């Protein structure tokens, strides 16, 4: 933590670097005019098969593996700078101060998940950032989180959508809102539904989501109107229709270590506006919703894929979090966290009704009440997990 934070201060989080990113790097990453290359779509499978060797002057990263094994991805120095440029200019767009105090709620390990006593946060000695645990969020612990936030008064919170949503739901119950000048919550790395964004905005005011992926072929960022605009200075993005909907396909331009051409992200969108005539003044194309990975679906015994399960639980009273675990072809475990003072039997009845609307009676439902839903090793929340249904396997 000590050394890592010092390096972070040197290379990422100091006034000079922030200023350079905001004001000097624009000419290195102009809006791209390139045409989409004439080739077939590629995906994880095609690149894994090609067995790319690690290029010199590159840094390795990994895609998160869900139904597939993780894929190693390589980044050139320019690609690394570009990624940081995306973050810094996103913050600048939303008027975050150059030297912002940052609270982080993004899956950092603060203490053992079995240790349920505060503090659930830790201070970074050089950058002054405060890291909060994503692994200790529970109705009992949330008041301590909120108290600490009020004490620290960060300019921004950088969070995983699932973590900030949990915090916001509890804050709403407690009637808590930030009582200081707050620039906003910046999220990324998980699917963030409009419904959950709305809950977070009711508590924290401004919430801005960034969409990207480990392969770094497309970046979309939310404006003040909640629209996800394509960052046209990042890559060449296409929206391609298939039998499941409209998906994001990207071609990177600034990563010589791993050029990806017409790469299928597997993420679907809704509300595409190619004209980009948004009242915010940004004329880049935008979408109104990012649906997330196509592997977040249930598989019914008749072969049907049922996705977008998060929508099923919209408006159910008393539900804090819910995870669907398809244990086999016929059994669906419904893990849920109940709001205090709600009746679990009533909640189970409501959940069953909502689920049966979508999946009929083809799956046997098994309800399991939890104090909290386990996160992946990276601290991320998964709304749907298929264990042995179909040919998929799950890894963190
Ligand atoms: Zn806009």
110 and 183 inside one domain: yes
Residue 96 Cα to ligand 1 midpoint, Å, equals: 17
Of 275, 293, 311, which residue is a domain's last? 293
Residue 84 Cα to ligand 1 midpoint, Å, equals: 21
Ordered per-residue pLDDT tens for the chain, 396 residues: 789 999 999 989 999 999 999 999 888 898 887 778 889 999 887 876 666 677 777 888 877 654 445 678 899 999 999 999 999 999 999 999 999 999 999 988 898 878 889 999 999 999 999 999 988 888 889 999 999 999 999 999 999 998 999 999 999 999 999 999 999 999 998 889 898 999 999 999 999 999 999 999 999 999 999 999 999 999 999 999 998 889 999 999 999 999 999 999 989 999 999 998 999 999 999 999 998 765 567 888 887 777 777 777 877 888 988 999 998 889 999 999 998 889 999 999 999 999 988 888 889 999 999 988 888 877 888 888 888 654 433 333
Quick check: is 335 in a domain?
Answer: yes
Residue 275 Cα to ligand 1 midpoint, Å, equals: 11
Residue 371 Cα to ligand 1 midpoint, Å, equals: 39
pLDDT at 238: 96
Residue 194 Cα to ligand 1 midpoint, Å, equals: 15
Residue 222 Cα to ligand 1 midpoint, Å, equals: 7
Residue 224 Cα to ligand 1 midpoint, Å, equals: 6
Residue 379 lies in domain:
298-386
41 and 112 inside one domain: yes
Quick check: is 19 in a domain?
Answer: yes
- Report the sign of the C-alpha dihedral through residues 157, 162, 163, 167, in that order: positive
Quick check: is 157 in a domain?
Answer: yes
310 and 263 inside one domain: no
Pairing state between β 364-369 and 245-252: unpaired
62 and 194 inside one domain: yes
Query: How far is the C-alpha of 17 from the C-alpha of 293, rounded, in Å?
Result: 34
pLDDT at 18: 93
Residue 285 Cα to ligand 1 midpoint, Å, equals: 9
Residue 221 Cα to ligand 1 midpoint, Å, equals: 9
Of 293, 309, 343, which residue is a domain's last? 293
361 and 244 inside one domain: no
CATH of the domain at 117: 3.40.50.12780
Residue 89 Cα to ligand 1 midpoint, Å, equals: 15
Residue 201 Cα to ligand 1 midpoint, Å, equals: 17
262 and 330 inside one domain: no
Residue 94 Cα to ligand 1 midpoint, Å, equals: 12
Residue 226 Cα to ligand 1 midpoint, Å, equals: 7
Residue 210 Cα to ligand 1 midpoint, Å, equals: 13
Query: How far is the C-alpha of 357 from the C-alpha of 334, rounded, in Å?
Result: 15
Residue 278 Cα to ligand 1 midpoint, Å, equals: 5
Residue 282 Cα to ligand 1 midpoint, Å, equals: 5
Quick check: is 395 in a domain?
Answer: no
pLDDT at 383: 85
Query: How far is the C-alpha of 79 from the C-alpha of 69, rounded, in Å?
Result: 24
Residue 206 Cα to ligand 1 midpoint, Å, equals: 14
Q: Based on the structure, what is the number of domains in the chain?
A: 2
Quick check: is 281 in a domain?
Answer: yes
332 and 280 inside one domain: no
Nearest to 318 by CA among 298, 287, 294, 346: 346
Cβ of 254: how many Cβ atoms within 10 Å? 22
pLDDT at 44: 82
pLDDT at 299: 83
pLDDT at 66: 46
- Report the sign of the C-alpha dihedral through residues 306, 261, 80, 91, in that order: negative
Residue 284 Cα to ligand 1 midpoint, Å, equals: 8
Quick check: is 396 in a domain?
Answer: no
Quick check: is 392 in a domain?
Answer: no
Of 274, 293, 312, which residue is a domain's last? 293
233 and 109 inside one domain: yes
Give, in degrees to the nearest 5, the angle at Cα 335 between 114 and 297. 120
60 and 140 inside one domain: yes
Nearest to 335 by CA among 319, 323, 326: 323
Residue 183 Cα to ligand 1 midpoint, Å, equals: 18
Residue 245 Cα to ligand 1 midpoint, Å, equals: 23
Residue 153 Cα to ligand 1 midpoint, Å, equals: 28
285 and 250 inside one domain: yes
CATH of the domain at 357: 3.30.300.30
Query: How far is the C-alpha of 154 from the C-alpha of 388, rounded, in Å?
Result: 43
Residue 279 Cα to ligand 1 midpoint, Å, equals: 6
Quick check: is 343 in a domain?
Answer: yes
Concatenated DSSP letters of 312-371: GGTT-TTEEEEEEEE-SSSEEEEEEEEPTT--HHHHHHHHHHHHHHHHTTSSEEEEEE-S
Which residues, at least 6 apart from 239, have a Cβ–Cβ distance to it below 8 Å? Answer: 246, 247, 248, 249, 269, 272, 285, 287
Residue 288 Cα to ligand 1 midpoint, Å, equals: 10
220 and 94 inside one domain: yes
Residue 231 Cα to ligand 1 midpoint, Å, equals: 12
Burial of 152 (0-12, 13-18, 19+ CB in 10 A): middle
283 and 206 inside one domain: yes
């Amino acid at each position: 933590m000590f050394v890592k934070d010092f390096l972070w201060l040197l290379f990422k989080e100091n006034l000079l670097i922030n200023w350079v990113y905001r004001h000097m790097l624009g000419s290195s990453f102009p809006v791209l005019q390139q045409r989409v290359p004439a080739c077939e779509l590629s995906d994880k499978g095609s690149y894994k098969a090609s067995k790319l060797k690690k290029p010199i002057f590159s840094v390795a990263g990994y895609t998160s593996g869900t139904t597939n094994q993780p894929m190693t991805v390589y980044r050139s120095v320019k690609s690394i700078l570009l990624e940081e440029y995306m973050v810094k200019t996103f913050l600048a767009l939303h008027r975050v101060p150059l030297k912002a105090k940052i609270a982080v709620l993004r899956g950092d390990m603060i203490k053992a998940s079995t240790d349920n006593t505060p503090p659930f946060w830790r201070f970074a000695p050089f950058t002054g950032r405060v890291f909060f645990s994503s692994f200790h969020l529970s109705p009992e612990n949330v008041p301590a989180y909120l108290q600490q936030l009020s004490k620290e008064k960060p300019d921004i919170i950088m969070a995983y959508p699932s973590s900030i949503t949990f915090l916001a739901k509890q804050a709403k119950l407690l009637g808590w809102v930030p009582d200081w000048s707050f620039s906003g919550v910046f999220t990324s790395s998980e699917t963030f539904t409009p419904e959950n964004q709305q809950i977070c905005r009711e508590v924290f005011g401004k919430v801005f989501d960034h969409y990207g992926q480990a392969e770094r072929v497309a970046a979309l960022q939310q404006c003040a109107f909640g629209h996800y605009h394509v960052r046209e200075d990042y890559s060449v993005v296409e929206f391609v229709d298939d039998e499941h909907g409209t998906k994001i396909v990207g071609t990177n331009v600034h990563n010589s270590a791993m050029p990806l051409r017409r790469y299928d992200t597997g993420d679907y969108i809704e509300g595409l506006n190619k004209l980009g005539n948004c009242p915010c003044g940004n004329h880049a194309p935008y979408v109104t919703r990012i649906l997330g990975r196509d592997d977040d679906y249930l598989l019914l015994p008749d072969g049907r894929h049922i996705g977008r399960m998060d929508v099923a639980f919209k408006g159910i009273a008393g539900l804090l979090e819910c995870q669907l675990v398809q244990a086999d072809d016929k059994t669906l475990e419904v893990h849920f966290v109940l709001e205090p003072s709600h009746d679990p039997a009533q909640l189970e009845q409501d959940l069953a009704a909502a689920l049966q609307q979508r999946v009929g009676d083809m799956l046997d439902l098994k309800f399991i009440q939890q104090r909290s839903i386990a996160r992946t090793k990276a601290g991320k929340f998964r709304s749907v997990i298929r264990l042995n249904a179909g040919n998929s396997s799950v890894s963190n």
